[in-house]
Structure 1
Amino acid sequence: MSSTASRPASAVSGRQARWQPHNDSRRERIVLAAIELIEQSPAGVEVPIVQIAEHAGLAKSVVYRQFAGRDELDRRIRSDVAERFVGDIEDALDIADGSIHNILVRTIGAVVSWIEDHPRLRDFLRTGPSETDPDVDAMSALIATIAGSTRALVSGLAGAVGVTDDASADTMTFAIVSMTEATVTRWSNDPAPALTKDQLIEELASYAWHVVDGVARRHGLTLDPDQQFTEVLTHLIAGDRPDSGG
């Protein structure tokens, strides 16, 4: 019988717990090294595990002790990249700061900047699933996650006027996010785009506003895109609901 098997379960679990921070740190080093190398690599070129290990200052065997194989490592990398992307978007999507137009421009600007600055990571998200959703590629899962976050902009308005059409809000936000991601990706891949970055952001913000405005009017609500979002909510909660005029 091995020495590990002869020890009480509590002793083994305690030893594992003591090593966990060390293992977490190594996993983080490996993932960060992989992300840096992916960003530096040519499009479509897979970074070898031995190169990732060297960049992290670890032996190749350490990588395989921390991850069962390439698939698990790649899923973890995609999850980490997606979390960073979502973090940037959620920082921009602060409904307590600015008008509806400000929020749309700021959030779409964050999407444009991230995709422009990280083209290889964007492409890598499309190569397979993340840890959180094994059934879809990581970019599709990311779009769904961002769409969920942007529902705050819609749900706050809808709840204030007693509208509970969750299906409409879900469809609208997903349509806006999908449109934005696809358009920005096409723009970033164009060697001579017709629009500047600022023009693209304003154009997409305008499209997004017209979608939001159209859905709001269907529910009898007229919104002012230049009014502070918190003021819009305050008026609506107080019962001041402007008529759409038809």
Structure 2
Amino acid sequence: MSSATSRPSSAVSGRQARWQPHNDSRRERIVLSAIELLEQSPAGVEVPIVQIAEHAGLAKSVVYRQFAGRDELDRRIRSEIADRFVADIEDALDIGEGSIHEILVRTVGGVVTWIQEHPRLHDFLRTGPSEAGSDIDAMSELIGTIAASTRTLVTGLAGVVGVADDGSADAMTFAIVSMTEATVTRWANDPNPVLTRSQLIEEVASYAWHVVDGVARRHGLTLDPEQQLTSVITQLATGGG
């Protein structure tokens, strides 16, 4: 009796496993199609599901089989957008190449480029969460994610030079990331910005540097913004700073 009832259950599980890659592929096609259409759409205009389905080469019913509804689809779209943003910024944050100043300029430049090139995606992150059950919009979640990633980097470097984490890294990284995003967004939305793109990047990078420098000095560290960061770390770790 038990073996007879277990076979149908295992058969269902087997079919689900075989179909999973196919369903994953369809979900990815739908999300990527939605993002492509979103980038092409005017500000504030919602892309209809039927249009997304057509762009993906699928029937509308397939979209509803893959996603419980518009809300779930939109969350998945925001999650994909946020992942792309984070990947670009983390590439710019590579500490293995460049001075502190160069890394800051490169990272701020990455934020400016992304927001300039993807204004609709950037706006869409503010329209709701990327996680089910979350009350925080995806842009706020993204800022927290980048700040956490940067904080891990900073606390790791602090450990190398023997500085205990007193919570400064958390406040510092969140302040820099949120300030950068807000300042760049304001500039990007200004039809007649006072600063040029290069001026904005240098200005925001300088703000970030002053925050970093202030926190470092409170911990008894003197940093040279023009020296290669890897060299700075080596000097500080060996007591030569």
The bucket for the TM-score relative to the shorter chain is over 0.9
> In structure 2, how many angstroms separate the alpha carbons of the residues matched to 1:132 and 1:83?
16
Partner of 2:69: 69
> In structure 2, how many angstroms separate the alpha carbons of the residues matched to 1:47 and 1:135?
23
> In structure 2, how many angstroms separate the alpha carbons of the residues matched to 1:128 and 1:90?
23
Instruction: Give the deviation of 1:13 after TM superposition.
Output: 1.2
Partner of 2:199: 199
Opposite residue 196 of structure 2, the aligned amino acid is T
Aligned residue runs from structure 1 range 73-84, under 5 A: 73-84=73-84
> In structure 2, how many angstroms separate the alpha carbons of the residues matched to 1:227 and 1:78?
38
Opposite residue 167 of structure 2, the aligned amino acid is A
Partner of 1:155: 155
Does the 8 A contact of 1:143 with 1:177 survive in 2? yes
SS for the counterpart of 1:126 is helix
Identical amino acids, percent of aligned pairs: 81
Question: In the superposition, relative to structure 1, how do residues 238 and 6 fare at CA in structure 2: closer, same or farther (>3 Å)?
Answer: closer
Does the 8 A contact of 1:156 with 1:233 survive in 2? no
Q: Residues 117-140 of structure 1, C-alpha deviation per residue, up to 9 Å, x if partnerless?
A: 111111100000002772310000
Opposite residue 154 of structure 1, the aligned amino acid is V
The alignment yields a C-alpha RMSD, in angstroms, of 1.5
Partner of 1:48: 48
Instruction: Give the deviation of 1:149 after TM superposition.
Output: 1.7
Question: In the superposition, relative to structure 1, how do residues 132 and 156 fare at CA in structure 2: closer, same or farther (>3 Å)?
Answer: farther
> In structure 2, how many angstroms separate the alpha carbons of the residues matched to 1:237 and 1:165?
16
Does the 8 A contact of 1:161 with 1:236 survive in 2? yes
Partner of 1:88: 88
Question: In the superposition, relative to structure 1, how do residues 133 and 231 fare at CA in structure 2: closer, same or farther (>3 Å)?
Answer: farther
> In structure 1, how many angstroms separate the alpha carbons of the residues matched to 2:237 and 2:148?
23
Q: Residues 46-66 of structure 1, C-alpha deviation per residue, up to 9 Å, x if partnerless?
A: 111111111111100000000
Does the 8 A contact of 1:133 with 1:141 survive in 2? no
Partner of 1:244: none
Aligned residue runs from structure 1 range 172-187, under 5 A: 172-187=172-187
Instruction: Give the deviation of 1:88 after TM superposition.
Output: 0.4
Opposite residue 50 of structure 1, the aligned amino acid is V
> In structure 1, how many angstroms separate the alpha carbons of the residues matched to 2:172 and 2:189?
26
Partner of 2:97: 97
> In structure 2, how many angstroms separate the alpha carbons of the residues matched to 1:104 and 1:67?
40
> In structure 1, how many angstroms separate the alpha carbons of the residues matched to 2:136 and 2:86?
17
> In structure 1, how many angstroms separate the alpha carbons of the residues matched to 2:15 and 2:156?
48
**1:58 pairs with 2:63:** no
Q: Which shifted more, 8-17 or 82-91?
A: 8-17
Does the 8 A contact of 1:88 with 1:110 survive in 2? yes
Q: Residues 130-182 of structure 1, C-alpha deviation per residue, up to 9 Å, x if partnerless?
A: 02772310000000111112224522432123222252101000000000000
Partner of 1:218: 218
> In structure 1, how many angstroms separate the alpha carbons of the residues matched to 2:80 and 2:171?
27
Opposite residue 200 of structure 1, the aligned amino acid is L
Q: Which shifted more, 157-166 or 94-103?
A: 157-166
Q: Which shifted more, 123-132 or 145-154?
A: 145-154
Opposite residue 55 of structure 1, the aligned amino acid is H
> In structure 2, how many angstroms separate the alpha carbons of the residues matched to 1:137 and 1:97?
33
